[in-house]
């Protein structure tokens, strides 16, 4: 087995600060969580220290070695993360869906065009890239705009629960459908809607895949390149670091 590469201490310290892996920076409210997501750009929801990248759960714990227990229902930190997730979904200021590999992910509004350029499916591509079940579910949502899970399953004709769940996962991964609300009474359900209804400007903005992946952008008049590592601390990834390198250049 290939040994796990060691991360330099200065990078871990940088992540402790910016990913809220310190007790003094713990996330406790939905507003705190939204500010955290906006600051770092994107984060997983319920991953722990065994997975790479920022995590809302780890930020709620406020420590870099946080590990999800086997029984998450009885864990106060996992429960708080779940409650915050529901509140964030209802507030609608941050994009939330199951994206790559079915991982629940939060995305800051400013980052949506770049994620969509990589994983999004445009309307002209739906017939060739989406399954029949996914298109059936999407057809109903485009007509009704939003609908609860059970009603959407019935109206779409995708009666099999596993097939229906797969269709919803497929539409979320394609950045077409998102949950807009979580209800617990009279029974637990998600309300589903079209992502473009919540984030129209961000999802309709065109960004090339190359720009989204590499962060390479043309130099605009009156702007100059700065050293991202000097301005923003150690790099956490090529695209993320490069996306922070453009700043207004002082004139005169």
Tens of pLDDT along 57-94? 999 999 999 999 888 888 999 999 999 999 999 999 99
Our measurement of the distance from residue 28's CA atom to the centroid of its chain's CA atoms, rounded to an integer in Å, reads: 19
Quickly count: other Cβ atoms within 10 Å of residue 6's Cβ: 7
> What pLDDT was estimated at residue 229?
38
Question: In angstroms, rounded to a whole number, what is the distance separating the alpha carbons of residues 205 and 139?
Answer: 23
207 touches 113 (CB < 8 A):
yes
Q: What is the mean pLDDT of each run of 10 residues along the chain (252 residues)?
A: 81 93 93 96 94 95 92 90 96 94 94 94 94 97 96 96 97 97 94 96 91 64 39 42 32 31
Quickly count: other Cβ atoms within 10 Å of residue 142's Cβ: 11
Question: In angstroms, rounded to a whole number, what is the distance separating the alpha carbons of residues 175 and 198?
Answer: 12
Q: What is the pTM of this model?
A: 0.81
> What pLDDT was estimated at residue 216?
59
> What pLDDT was estimated at residue 233?
44
> What pLDDT was estimated at residue 244?
32
């Amino acid at each position: 087995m290939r040994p796990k590469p060691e991360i330099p201490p200065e990078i871990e310290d940088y992540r402790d600060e910016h990913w809220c892996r310190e007790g003094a920076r713990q996330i406790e409210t939905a507003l705190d969580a939204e500010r955290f997501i906006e600051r770092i750009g994107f984060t997983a929801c319920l991953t722990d220290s065994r997975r790479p990248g920022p995590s809302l759960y780890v930020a709620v714990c406020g420590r870099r070695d946080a590990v999800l227990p086997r029984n998450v229902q009885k864990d106060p930190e996992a429960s708080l993360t779940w409650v915050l997730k529901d509140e964030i979904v209802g507030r609608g200021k941050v994009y939330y869906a199951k994206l790559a590999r079915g991982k629940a992910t939060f995305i800051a509004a400013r980052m949506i065009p770049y994620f969509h350029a990589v994983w999004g499916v445009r309307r002209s591509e739906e017939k060739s890239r989406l399954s029949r079940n996914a298109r059936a579910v999407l057809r109903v949502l485009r007509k009704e705009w939003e609908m609860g899970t059970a009603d959407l399953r019935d109206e779409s004709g995708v009666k099999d629960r596993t097939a229906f769940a797969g269709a919803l996962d497929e539409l979320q991964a394609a950045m077409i459908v998102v949950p807009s609300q979580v209800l617990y009474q009279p029974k637990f359900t998600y309300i589903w809607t079209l992502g473009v209804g919540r984030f129209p400007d961000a999802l309709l903005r065109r960004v090339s895949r190359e720009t989204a992946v590499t962060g390479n952008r043309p130099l605009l008049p009156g702007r100059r390149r700065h050293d991202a590592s000097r301005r923003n601390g150690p790099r956490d990834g090529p695209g993320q670091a490069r996306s922070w390198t453009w700043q207004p250049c002082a004139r005169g």
